[in-house]
Amino acid sequence: MFQDTAKIILKSGKGGDGHVSFRRELYVPAGGPDGGNGGKGGDVVFEIHDGLNTLADFRQNRKFSAQNGEPGGKKKCHGADGADVVVKVPEGTVIRDFESGKIIADMSGENRRQVIIRGGKGGMGNMNFATSTMQAPNYAKPGQPGKEITVRLELKVIADVGLVGFPNAGKSTLLSRISNAKPEIAAYPFTTIQPHLGVVDLSGGNGFVVADIPGLLKGASNGIGLGIDFLKHIERTKVLIHVVDAASTEGRDPEEDIRVILDELKNYDPELIKKPQIIAANKIDCITPDMDDPIEKLKRAFEPSMKVFPISGVTGAGIKELLYGIWDILKGMDRKPTVFSPEMEIEYAGDRNLPYTIERADDGAFVVEGPRIEKMLGYTNLESEKGFDFFQKFLKNTGILDDLEKKGIKEGDTVRMYGHEFNYYK
């Protein structure tokens, strides 16, 4: 069964406690402290597994816990670190905080392995606390606790092209003809119950990946039918192909079908209808001479914004022209997969105390640096709108903006952070 969402619980390991002990050896009646440090708790790590294409495994296995760190021992023995737990997911899996719905990470593109929650640090043993005035410290630090969160996994397929249209418009037949995919093909309302991916090979070593998005219904964006579960797969595609039954073999109006799909895309996410779109007017082998030419009707209704390609998934007529029409659009686009930026930061008790500094450079810019800033910039894509919005909220919520104002920053002043420059406006 296809499973494109899952709710799971993640728990990182607790750090091992530091140990309290003293040297006890023959002829050493007053040995010093020798309690060792505890080991670090295991992390929760997500990793892309190329052999997976569904989240169905998470229907049974819903909790993933890393090991706790071992406590320190006598004779300055360091406790063993807890083992990480590695959660394997298909490429395209988006990890969201279950309560807020905000994105924690997107396992796509180059992001093939990521620590989602860190294990707690091990506590220090009493050997670390000896001083000239306290030579026999009788205390050690406990290990830091692990972190537990509930997340929602969403699988959004990664493809260059998405085929959209009503059931039985011929999407599965078209995909099977143009690619190596072998989707189930039959004549009933929900022929496709999961997205199918196929690779299209063109001459000259060119090609692209096509996804057959399952049949949508009117009202899908409002939760009717299965459509809303699959609309999310369209978000990563570069080009949309409306596949319609131009011959109206089942009594449907192809023009009306396209308008319904456009409304559903707009209601789900207005950005989707800004993608380049093409109409594949399918089943031309069924058009009879006595019919009012449906191809011309579609061209009058939608060209030039959406070019119409008359095709037959059964006979192959017009397929070559369609594929090269798609390629003409794709070759001028950035083919890197769309990767969603993080929208939240997982907070740890120790993170709140990570230092940062604000200095004034010779040119008057305010330079903000330190582990807190470096850590945040490491997982934030400032090129995306959501990533930059998250960055600004981070500066506000952590008090960095307040500190800049205390330092005398004015509107239009430059803020510099590890190679990034911004102008300050309140």
* pLDDT(339) > 70: yes
- In this predicted model, what pLDDT tens digit does every residue of 291-332 receive, in sequence order? 888 999 999 999 899 999 999 988 989 999 999 999 999 988
pLDDT at 184: 43
Q: DSSP secondary structure string, 60-79? A: T--EEEPPPPPPP-STTPPP
Strands of the sheet containing 420-423, edge to edge, are 357-360, 366-369, 414-417, 420-423
CATH superfamily, region 161-330: P-loop containing nucleotide triphosphate hydrolases (3.40.50.300)
Query: What beta strand segments (E) does 129-235 contain?
Result: 148-155, 161-164, 196-201, 207-212
> Options 3.30.1490.20, 3.40.1160.10, 3.30.300.350, 1.10.760.10; which CATH number does 351-423 get?
3.30.300.350
Rounded average pLDDT over 27-31: 66
* pLDDT(222) > 60: no
Domain ranges, ordered by start, for the chain: 1-154, 161-330, 351-423
- In this predicted model, what pLDDT tens digit does every residue of 159-176 receive, in sequence order? 889 888 887 788 888 888
pLDDT at 187: 37
Q: Do domains 1-154 and 351-423 have the same CATH topology?
A: no
* pLDDT(130) > 60: yes
* pLDDT(230) > 60: yes
* pLDDT(237) > 60: yes
Closest to 373 (Cα-Cα) out of 361, 358, 383, 388: 358
pTM: 0.67
Residues in Cβ contact with 334 at an 8 Å cutoff, skipping those fewer than 6 apart: none
- In this predicted model, what pLDDT tens digit does every residue of 283-302 receive, in sequence order? 998 888 888 889 999 999 99
Nearest-5° angle of CA 118, CA 122, CA 124?
Answer: 150
pLDDT at 351: 62
Among 1-15, 137-151, 209-223, 363-377, where is mean pLDDT lowest? 209-223
pLDDT at 319: 92
Which structure tokens are listed for 348?
């740890």
Tell me the pairing of strands 103-107 and 93-97: antiparallel
1 or 3, greater pLDDT: 3
- In this predicted model, what pLDDT tens digit does every residue of 45-76 receive, in sequence order? 999 998 887 788 888 889 999 999 999 999 89
pLDDT at 183: 42
What is the rounded distance in angstroms from the CA atom of residue 116 to the CA atom of residue 382? 20
Residues in Cβ contact with 343 at an 8 Å cutoff, skipping those fewer than 6 apart: 102, 103, 104, 386, 389, 390
pLDDT at 226: 46
Rounded average pLDDT over 121-129: 89
Place of tokens 């595609």: 237
* pLDDT(30) > 70: no
Q: What CATH class is the domain 1-154?
A: mainly beta
* pLDDT(385) > 60: yes
Place of tokens 């072998």: 182
Instruction: Report the run of H or E that residue 133 belongs to, with start and end.
Output: none
What is the rounded distance in angstroms from the CA atom of residue 230 to the CA atom of residue 55? 14
At 195, the pLDDT band (50, 70, 90 cuts) reads low
